[in-house]
Amino acid sequence: MSADPNCIFCKIVAGQIPSRKVHEDDELLVFHDIAPWAPVHVLIIPKQHIATMYDTDERHTAMLGRMTAMAPKLMRDLGVTNGFRIVVNTGRDGMQEVPHVHMHVMGGPRPWTKG
C-alpha cells in the first residue's frame, strides 16, 4: 500500500497523528473532522495514498463504492436521522485542502438553516 510521508492523512493512517476514529478496516479509515462544518462531520479516506479524484480510475471503483455505501450506516450509527451531505473536493479549484482523496460526510441540524 502506498503512502506519502509528507501527507497528514497518511500519518493518521500510520498512527503518527492521533484521530477520533469511527471505523477502520484493511482499506478505509473514518475519523471525525477536526474543524467540523456540521454537528456530525466525519472523513472517509482510503488507507492507500491517492492524491486527488483525478488520480482514480476503474481500479478504484470498488473502494470508492464502499466509501459511498458506508456513509448512511455511519450517519445512523452517529445519530443522524434527518439527512446528510457527502462532499468530495478535488484539486485546487475544487477547494481540496489535503492532497489525499477523502469524502466528507456531514449531518445534523445546521445553525443557519431556516426552520
102 annotated active-site: yes
**Number of other residues whose CB lies within 10 A of the CB of residue 16:** 10
Of the residues 41, 49, 100, 102, only one is catalytic, namely 102
Specify the residue for cell string 506519502.
Answer: 4
CA distance 57 to 78: 31
Q: Kindly state the cell numbers that stand for 15.
A: 498512527
Q: Which residues carry out catalysis?
A: 102
